[in-house]
Amino acid sequence: MRGWILFREALDPARPEVPEIFRFQEEAAVRGLELHVLDPHKFDLVVGALGNWSVRYEHRALERPDFIMARTGAETDYFTLSVLRHFERRGVRLVNGPTAIDLVADKLHTMQRLARAGLPIPRTILGKFPMEPDLVERELGFPVIVKTLRGTRGTGVLKCEDRDQFEDLAGLLSTSDARADFLFQQYVRASHGRDVRILVVGGRVVAAMERRSLRGGFKSNVSLGGVGLAFQPPPEMAELAVRAAETLQLDVAGIDILFDDDGYRICEANSAPGFQGLERACQVDVPAVVLDWIEASQERAMEKLADRQGDALVDLVFGGPSALRSLGDRSTTMPRYAGAMGVRLVAAGIVCLVSALMPKALSSRAGLMRERLEAVREGRLDALVFQDDSEQEATLLTVLAVSLWAAVLPWLAGASAPIAGAISVLAMAFPLALLMTGERGGRRRPDSATGSKG
């Protein structure tokens, strides 16, 4: 196997992340794996036909890797995400993927996604200074934690003990003309100076350590002078960490969990967790565990990558998975959501019909729509794969309900009978197409029988 580690900084051993990179390389060498460390900003990518592999690094061609580990974490920028998306589209296995890395790098987005999944988090407000102290006191109380949206290893986090200190901070930032956005977060008193870092790999808890501050402060990060002790997480805490990693689509994750009076709260998640303190505390070889999982799950991961071609249909109808998710975020009620889904389904069908009737000379220049149609055609729609029959049935019923709503909508809106009838017929074609696709391509994923998560 051949792998890459994407890492942006110089390989200076004085940087805390670099010895961890070297540990991965040493473990790979023992196994006979090629593992190269590459700077994502030094790639030259040629975007062309789906079948092409045209990648150059520092002006030389590179062979296709079997997997890529991104160790860029919260410092991942747009260029790095673009590089990762390019490799993802070319069917290279990523640990972790760009969607998960971008999601976790934004602390507010992380909290939103976890809250939406029903997982416990500290109450959080997004704002910027000057911030109304009455709102903070009413919703969060004092003390309050103030965080920058992006930060790592405990940087960009402070605690305001009371209203006066909060107002002093606001005054200081206003005089320095600071324009950064901040998170204001509930202070969980029961977890003062301690939390638990849980390492999750492939949906399984590998190790956990309790981090404690030695100076009486509220930060417990080992990188800031805290101490890490081996910790056996209770089943409910371990399950919480696994659910958080799954919700955030992280294959390898460091989940930080706070103690609370009535249970636990998820504080943060990390897509490239540091592990030196964890290894010392728990006597676990993290690179060995990660590479063990990558090797054991490689075949299954590649099968899932082939299945993921079905995103082409989402691109065609909704403009991509993120646009589909944002549609759900903006729709506050089910009728509004169903209506928005129906409109997009009908609009996509109309555009496809127009594309079919368009003269060849014009359709060849149709650009984005032609590309999306071609992607769906190349995928042959057999990528709509279901875990089991119940999942296929639930998906079909959902699409049927939305299509029924789209079919009835023009009649309710008072459209003329020919127009309303045509739209209704078009809307009802979608569940039929899904049913036919599911019967042809709806094979079960290879891990559905055992429930294994690697």
Is there a contact between 316 and 384 (Cβ–Cβ < 8 Å)?
no
The per-residue pLDDT for range 104-162, each reduced to its tens digit, is 988 888 999 999 889 999 998 887 767 788 888 888 888 888 887 766 655 678 888 88
For the ranges 125-129, 164-168, 307-311, 432-436, the lowest mean pLDDT is seen at 307-311
> What's the chain's average pLDDT?
79
Q: Is there a shared CATH topology between the 123-187 domain and the 192-295 domain?
A: no
Phi then psi dihedrals of residue 366, to 5 deg: -70, -10
Which sequence spans correspond to the domains of the chain?
2-95, 123-187, 192-295, 307-441
pLDDT band at residue 178 under the 50/70/90 scheme = low
**What spatial distance separates the first Cα and last Cα of the chain, rounded to whole Å?**
18
- What is the pLDDT at residue 337? 77
Superfamily of chain region 192-295:
ATP-grasp fold, B domain (3.30.470.20)
Is there a contact between 306 and 443 (Cβ–Cβ < 8 Å)?
no
The per-residue pLDDT for range 348-357, each reduced to its tens digit, is 777 777 777 7
Average pLDDT over residues 323-343: 75
For the ranges 60-64, 202-206, 446-450, the lowest mean pLDDT is seen at 446-450
Estimate the crossing angle of helix 98-105 against helix 78-89, to 10 degrees: 150
3-state helix, strand and coil shares in percent for the chain, rounded to the nearest 5: 50, 20, 30
The percentage of the chain sitting over the pLDDT mark of 70, rounded to a whole number, equals 74
Strands 144-148 and 157-160: what pairing?
A: antiparallel
- What is the pLDDT at residue 265? 95
Structure letter (DSSP) for residue 208: E
Sheet holding 2-6, edge to edge: 34-38, 2-6, 67-70, 93-95
pLDDT band at residue 48 under the 50/70/90 scheme = low
pLDDT band at residue 31 under the 50/70/90 scheme = very high
Is there a contact between 212 and 226 (Cβ–Cβ < 8 Å)?
yes
- What is the pLDDT at residue 350? 79
Q: What kind and span of H or E run contains 394?
A: helix 389-412
User: Which top CATH class is 123-187?
Assistant: alpha beta
CATH number of 2-95: 3.40.50.20
- What is the pLDDT at residue 441? 39
The per-residue pLDDT for range 228-267, each reduced to its tens digit, is 899 999 999 999 999 999 999 999 999 999 999 889 999 9
The rounded distance, in Å, linking the Cα atoms of 23 and 125 is: 39
The residue type of 355 is S
Estimate the crossing angle of helix 311-318 against helix 368-379, to 10 degrees: 150
Average pLDDT over residues 188-203: 91
CA distances from 343 to 313, 329, 347, 403 (A): 16, 17, 6, 9
pLDDT at 95 over 90: yes
Structure letter (DSSP) for residue 376: H
pLDDT at 336 over 60: yes
